[in-house]
Structure 1
């Protein structure tokens, strides 16, 4: 199929939005925990702040997905950006527990609003220009790569800024004389993140066009959002392929939760000190984003080599499960050879997850209509988050060792095996899709 020029423009805009969405997240991740600590927050209080964020995302995930389907992608993305600006300012400048809690809640609401909305806009825009059977995988892959690159860049910049500001000529001495010097320096990445969010809002309002929708009233929103959410939940129950996507998301959520919970302890064991272990973990996190982005970039190639999107998901998740198993069999050793194998496993996991995501989302978008696309993505995200929370509790109950890694690897392998049998093609209403037996041209 010949790609229309308008499709390339849509793809560039989608990649730009992905970058502007996730660069601020990386900036905040690098310094937020340290900032809370400098403000006198205990570890339990910091955990409670992050729990408030996660709970807000979980509660609002489905309603905000329905809101995006009812109101449109552009206004919802703009509101998400505005809420994130306020959240970054509250967290970056706030000094009391209630202000910081309000900031984390607003950040969670913004995350829920933006979840899947940009991707839904991209698919809608491409299908409007090129038809319902338009090639989607390449754009989804590039969006995933842009997301990973933005997170990695944000982590590096957010971690470097406080160090650079604290060591600047004469600045370090002046800051050391002020009791709030460390807080000021650690707030800079979040304030910069707020600035990037302002750019995002301006960009969304300026260039993200979408087909006109019926005028929304409060009554239509209150009636339309619950109906859209229920339709999204029913789709997961009656459609085999969508159900596979949701189960796969749950397996991936468990894998990511295990990594986030157990890798920091392993880096401390490897280096012998908490400080150096934290530095190694930060470097590994950046490497994980890089491998994830590389996997996303290679997703169209994986589909061509494997013979279709479903086979590509099978192979990619199988590679990720192999990575977890490598981490498991090396869990009790700090020998250089075991460490090398563990690093290979870590990279393989993120590479596999990165390659799987665009392929399975390409399949998902061919089973849903525009009226429920953001909701379907929100259901997928919720499955990942809830599974991650549950897996974290289960993995934390085990003593450090290979068992949590091996169990999670087995679950991810089970998610891969769901894709052994191809699902019979079924076109959604209003489409002419035949099947996914071919590999789309990237």
Structure 2
């Protein structure tokens, strides 16, 4: 089986369980008698755990290896889904959320870093960028398709419920646990990786700390990398508007919370299917990811604002689908730019840095936009989230520092390709700061 097919299969197995549990994640605790406040506080543990572990686990993936971390993440995912299935009290739900946070931190960037490393190891330098971009775009499409399929499957399991209504909301979690077991097996069979050499005992801990310091050093020394990581702050804040507030707004427009809950399943599936199409299409548009990222981020902000301004459920759903169509496409462009700024030994660490920046921003967005939705309206809160999301666009126009040469005037520190749309873009575009991919 080719590298691309293995990568896509592993990606699909990773995200199919997520599609299964997303439609029922909030419903099961409420069905068991927990309040919304208790459920929210318990689930917030996941974000705290991810924030604390994201960077160390990224460094661990760069030192111990991508495959061991990905297999361990799938194992913990299995236990977390089982914990969710039996959690009947807030403390038990918090424990399940903590396990979920650990597995998400462990697998953050490991699979994608493995794919990029394999492409760099097995292809000519001039082919690497195209193969990486195409593979990441296909993977984003696989993510969207898997979550959409999982959402449909979840609805089918709930409707089937062979042991009565008591088990209906539990079945998707049990199905997710089975799929996690399949992911563990597939990881062992499909994810080949050269063994990491070195002394045993404390070597992984020492090397992980070194990888973390090196990743932070890369971040401190690169204006472009700092700008790209900062994009996650705006993105994490803005995503709350269409991920968390969408069901609230739909319930307001429909005037019936139960009807909104029944509608969200198909809408979520359609949204991720649209996202898959957008992700699959964007790599074929252009290779000027700096300009494409600016346009996509502004467009996504506009679609979210349109969601907030929608006066009826149809307009809200159309805006939601448009938002997700741009969402994954923007993610492909973003990750392609991120991979250009880092070499293989630090790839997972830098991906974890970017992911880690999203966690506090998402928490802040939940608090600020939630308060705005309560004090004013959910539509206004969604629109504000869209504006904040679009504010990240100028960060894609940051260029690397110039170096003064002995021969004369300042020159770009590397073989940069300039964008000639205008003098401003010539001196500020990320395109001008792109360095060649390194193995």
TM range (shorter): 0.7 to 0.9
Residue 188 of structure 1 is matched in structure 2 by 171
1:359 maps onto 2:333 in alignment: yes
Give distance in 1, aligned partners of 2:300 and 2:281. 14
> Is the CA contact (8 Å cut-off) linking 1:35 and 1:183 kept in structure 2?
no
1:298 maps onto 2:294 in alignment: no
> Is the CA contact (8 Å cut-off) linking 1:148 and 1:289 kept in structure 2?
yes
Q: Could you tell me which runs of 5 or more consecutive residues in structure 1 were left unpaired when the two chains were aligned.
A: 1-7, 166-170, 176-180, 427-431
Residue 385 of structure 1 is matched in structure 2 by 359
Residue 47 of structure 1 is matched in structure 2 by 40
> Matches of residues 25-424 of structure 1 in structure 2 within 5 Å?
25-95=18-88, 97-133=90-126, 134=128, 135=130, 136-165=132-161, 171=162, 175=163, 181-215=164-198, 217-304=200-287, 308-330=288-310, 333-334=311-312, 339-398=313-372, 399-400=376-377, 402-420=379-397
> Is the CA contact (8 Å cut-off) linking 1:148 and 1:290 kept in structure 2?
yes
Is 346-355 or 95-104 further displaced after alignment? 95-104
Give TM-score, length-normalised by structure 2.
Answer: 0.85
Q: Return closer, same or farther for 1:266/1:139 CA change in 2, 3 Å cut-off.
A: same
Is 247-256 or 214-223 further displaced after alignment? 214-223
CA drift at 1:360: 2.0
Is 72-81 or 33-42 further displaced after alignment? 33-42
Is 405-414 or 391-400 further displaced after alignment? 405-414
Structure 1: 4+ residue segments shifted above 6 A: none
Give distance in 1, aligned partners of 2:114 and 2:125. 14
Give distance in 2, aligned partners of 1:74 and 1:256. 30
CA drift at 1:323: 0.6
Give distance in 1, aligned partners of 2:318 and 2:158. 31
Q: Deviations over 1:296-345 (max 9, x none)?
A: 111212325xxx11111112112101112222333xx33xxxx5544343
Give the aligned CA root-mean-square deviation in angstroms: 2.5
Q: Deviations over 1:224-280 (max 9, x none)?
A: 222222322332232122122212222221221112332122211221111001122
CA drift at 1:141: 0.4
Is 35-44 or 132-141 further displaced after alignment? 35-44
CA drift at 1:206: 1.2
Give distance in 2, aligned partners of 1:94 and 1:360. 37
Q: Return closer, same or farther for 1:132/1:232 CA change in 2, 3 Å cut-off.
A: farther
Count the aligned residue pairs: 405
Q: Deviations over 1:157-180 (max 9, x none)?
A: 112211122xxxxx5xxx5xxxxx
> Is the CA contact (8 Å cut-off) linking 2:309 and 2:380 kept in structure 1?
no
Give distance in 1, aligned partners of 2:21 and 2:308. 30
Give distance in 1, aligned partners of 2:388 and 2:199. 43
Residue 17 of structure 2 is matched in structure 1 by 24
Give distance in 1, aligned partners of 2:395 and 2:45. 34
Give TM-score, length-normalised by structure 1.
Answer: 0.85
